[in-house]
Amino acid sequence: KNQVEQSPQSLIILEGKNCTLQCNYTVSPFSNLRWYKQDTGRGPVSLTIMTFSENTKSNGRYTATLDADTKQSSLHITASQLSDSASYICVVSDRGSTLGRLYFGRGTQLTVWP
Amino acid sequence: EADIYQTPRYLVIGTGKKITLECSQTMGHDKMYWYQQDPGMELHLIHYSYGVNSTEKGDLSSESTVSRIRTEHFPLTLESARPSHTSQYLCASSDGGAVTGELFFGEGSRLTVL
């Protein structure tokens, strides 16, 4: 069964600290993996998209890594800010059909305290 | 910033009422999607469209219906709302396939049925 599991479910850190969020997936055949940030009551906003051949991609203070062999991805946030408080969602696409399909994780709820 | 808009942002209605959630995008995207999201849970695809006069049901069974008469407009309708329909509804559009394209989300419509 194709699944996307994220950990931890929730995380609290102090402003200025770094943190790493995890995503494990069983989606096959794999096409790409995306990380989204979703502020409370808002729609998700894309942070990164990585294909099979990419193992690192950065977007400002956000760095995503991908290990397609172990089917794991991480999102590292550097020097956290209060505005980083949000849910971070891992989304994996398959290429099992011409149209593909998206599999969503439940997200990691990050809270940054001053 | 994505040019995709949802109205209303918040709606509280009584059981049995008919409601329409509006979604419009100005990016000229052919592909549009409706997702349902409950707190702490993953997004579930309920409807999608690959162009004018094309609509398909998603993975999650839904009593709602959609239409796509114009490229930019993808409204979702519930003929008779029930408390079980209480949820967050997210509209999205894509500049390519769901696998290869960037997915842009609206701000969401939070529906509460009393």
pLDDT tens digits, chain A, 114 residues: what are they?
Answer: 779 999 999 999 999 999 999 999 999 888 889 999 999 989 999 999 998 888 999 999 999 999 999 999 999 999 999 999 999 999 998 876 555 678 999 999 999 999
Please state, in angstroms and rounded to a whole number, the distance separating the CA atoms of residues A66 and A54: 7
DSSP A61-90: TEEEEEETTTTEEEEEE-S--GGG-EEEEE
pLDDT given at position B64: 92
Residues 6+ apart with CB under 8 A from A53: none
Task: Give the pLDDT band of residue B98 (cuts 50, 70, 90).
Answer: low
pLDDT given at position B101: 73
Chain A from 10 to 39: CB within 8 A of any B CB:
31-32, 34
Q: Do A101 and B105 touch (CB under 8 A)?
A: no
CB pairs under 8 A between A and B: 55
% of chain B beyond a pLDDT of 70: 95
Q: Do A31 and B99 touch (CB under 8 A)?
A: yes
Q: Is B71 exposed, middle or buried (0-12, 13-18, 19+ CB in 10 A)?
A: middle
Q: Do B42 and A106 touch (CB under 8 A)?
A: yes
Closest-CA residue to B75 (of B8, B2, B10): B8
pLDDT given at position A95: 78
With an 8 Å Cβ cutoff, is B100 touching chain A?
Answer: yes
> Taking 70 as the threshold, does the pLDDT of residue B97 lie above it?
no
Backbone angles phi, psi at A32, to 5 degrees: -155, 170
Contact between A44 and B106 (Cβ < 8 Å): no
- Convert the pLDDT of each residue in B52-86 to its tens digit: 999 999 888 788 999 999 999 999 999 999 999 99
User: At A91, which amino acid appears?
Assistant: V
- Convert the pLDDT of each residue in B4-38 to its tens digit: 999 999 999 999 999 999 999 999 999 999 999 99
Distance from CA of B73 to the nearest CA of A (A): 18
With an 8 Å Cβ cutoff, is B107 touching chain A?
Answer: yes
Cis peptide before B75 (omega within 30 of 0): no
Chain B from 12 to 51: CB within 8 A of any A CB:
40-45
